[in-house]
Amino acid sequence: MLPMRPMKLGGDFIMFGENSLEYLQQLPAKTKRAFIVLGGNFMEEAGYLKEITDLLEEVGYTIETFNDVEPDPSFDTVQKGAKAMLAFEPDWIIAVGGGSVMDAAKAMWIFYEHPELKTLEEIVSPLPKLRNKAKIACIPTSSGTGSEVSRSIVITDKETHIKHGIGDMELMPDIAILEPKLTTTLPKGMTAATGMDALTHALEAKVSNRANVLADVLAEKAIKDVFAYLPTAFHEPDNLKAREGMLLASCIAGMSFTNVSLGIVHSLAHAIGGKFGVPHGLANAIILPYIVSYNSQDETAKQLYQEVADMLEVADLVTAIQELNKELGIPTTLQAFIKKDEAFDASVKELAKLAKADGCTKTNPVIPDEAGFEELFNKVYYGGTI
C-alpha cells in the first residue's frame, strides 16, 4: 500500500441545482475583473454566456472572454490565454466548458500568477503558490471530467503529441457551479463519452492502491448514478433530472479520484489520445472493460469489482459496461475510431513506454511491464479477450 495522503473534496464552495449560476453575483472580489475561458461559441449561441455576463455585470464586473480552447488543449493555447490574462489582470478566472476548458484555464492561471515560468516542464508538483492575483471558478458544461473539483490537468504538447499530466492541490478550483441546463446543449456522442469518463474515474478510484473508505463511498455513489442517469441523459437530452444526476456523479467521482488517483485505463488513454487524437472520454470508454478484465487477476480488485456488480444488481461488471457502451453507440475497439492499422502497429512500443511512465500507472492494482502494455494496446485496438 502507498502512503495515505490528506483528503480534500473541493474548494471554498460547490453550488448545484437549477439557478446555480446566480451564485456568480456573490463572488468576493477586489477589482471585479472576470476573465471567462470558453471552448468555442456554443455557450454564446445558446444564450448562456449572456446570462453569465449579465449576472456579473449587474454587480459591477468588467469582463473579458477567451473562447479559443480546443479539445485536448495545447500548450500554445495556454500561453495565448495567459498572455491575455496578464494584459487584463483579472481577479476571477471563470472556466465555462468541459474538461479541456477547465484544464486550460487552470494552466493559464499558473502562468498568469507566475510569468517567470515558460515551459510545460516547469509546472511540476509542488507548484508555486497561486491565488496571489486571482481565484478560479469552474462551471462544467459536460458531465465527465470532474475537473471542477480536481487537482489535475492534462495539456498536450503539439510538437511531440505527448499529453502532460500535472497534479497539485493548488489547482483545486475555488468555486464549482453545477448548473444542469448548461449540459443540455451537449451532443449525444459527447454526452456518452463524458459520462463514461466519469464512470472510469469512479471505477479506477475504487480499485486504486491508494483507495480509502471515504473515497470508496464517493466512487460507489458515482458508479451507481452513472448507470442510473447516463442512458436517460443520452436518450433525453433535455431531461434536467438526468442531467443534474450526471453532473453530480461526475463531480463526486472527481472528488474520489483526485484524492486516490486513477489507473491504467487513463495511462493507455493518455498515450493513444496524444498520438492518434482519440477524445479522452471515448478512449476511456473503449478501454475500460478490457482493463476491468485485466485487473481481475488481482484478487482484491476482483472482489471489489464483484461488490460493484452486486451493488448494480448485475451478474458481471465487464458485461454491464459493454452493454452500456453499446447502448451509447461507443465502439468496442480503438481500431473502429482510429482506422490506421499500420501507424498503430509502428507505434505500439512507443505507446507502451508512454503508458508505463504515466503517473496513473503506479496506483493501478496490477502494474504491467512494457511488454504487458504492448499486449494491452493490441487488445484494445484490435479486440479480443483478456
In-domain check, residue 375: yes
pLDDT 10s digits, 249-271: 999 999 999 999 999 999 999 99
User: Count of residues for the chain?
Assistant: 386
Q: Are residues 222 and 332 in the same domain?
A: yes
Q: Which three cell numbers stand for residue 124?
A: 511540476
Domain end point (choices 133, 166, 182): 182
Residue 77, CA atoms < 13 Å, CB-side half-sphere = 26
In-domain check, residue 7: no
Question: Residue 138's domain is classified under what CATH number?
Answer: 3.40.50.1970
Give pLDDT, residue 35: 98
Q: Are residues 304 and 240 in the same domain?
A: yes
In angstroms, the CA 190 to CA 183 distance is 10
pLDDT 10s digits, 317-333: 999 999 999 999 999 99
Q: Which helix (H) or strand (E) holds 76?
A: helix 75-88
Domain end point (choices 182, 216, 248): 182
Q: Per-residue pLDDT for 124 more than 90?
A: no
Dihedrals phi, psi of 171, to nearest 5 degrees: -85, 0
Q: Are residues 175 and 200 in the same domain?
A: no
Q: Are residues 251 and 129 in the same domain?
A: no
Give pLDDT, residue 5: 72
113 near 105, Cβ under 8 Å? Answer: no
In-domain check, residue 148: yes
**Average pLDDT, stretch 46-62?**
96
Q: Are residues 327 and 222 in the same domain?
A: yes
Q: Which band of pLDDT confidence, cut at 50, 70 and 90, is reported for residue 165?
A: confident
List CB contacts of 357: < 8 A, sequence separation 6 or more: none
278 near 368, Cβ under 8 Å? Answer: no
**Would strands 92-97 and 175-178 be described as parallel, antiparallel, or unpaired?**
unpaired
Give pLDDT, residue 3: 56
Q: Are residues 177 and 239 in the same domain?
A: no
In angstroms, the CA 57 to CA 32 distance is 9
Q: Are residues 166 and 202 in the same domain?
A: no
- Name the domain count of the chain: 2
Q: Are residues 153 and 273 in the same domain?
A: no
Give pLDDT, residue 4: 56
Q: What angle do CA 281, 290, 158 make, to 5 degrees?
A: 40
201 near 147, Cβ under 8 Å? Answer: no
Q: Which three cell numbers stand for residue 370?
A: 512494457
Q: Are residues 241 and 153 in the same domain?
A: no
SS3 146: coil
Q: Per-residue pLDDT for 241 more than 60?
A: yes
In-domain check, residue 346: yes
Q: Are residues 344 and 374 in the same domain?
A: yes
Residue 105, CA atoms < 13 Å, CB-side half-sphere = 34
277 near 162, Cβ under 8 Å? Answer: no
pLDDT 10s digits, 294-309: 999 999 999 999 999 9
Cα–Cα distances in angstroms (integers) from residue 122 to residues 13, 127, 132, 135, in the given order: 30, 9, 19, 21
Q: Are residues 138 and 243 in the same domain?
A: no
Q: Are residues 279 and 161 in the same domain?
A: no
Question: Residue 326's domain is classified under what CATH number?
Answer: 1.20.1090.10
SS3 122: helix
Q: What domain range is 302 assigned to?
A: 187-382
Q: Which helix (H) or strand (E) holds 96?
A: strand 92-97
In angstroms, the CA 49 to CA 52 distance is 5
**Average pLDDT, stretch 213-238?**
97
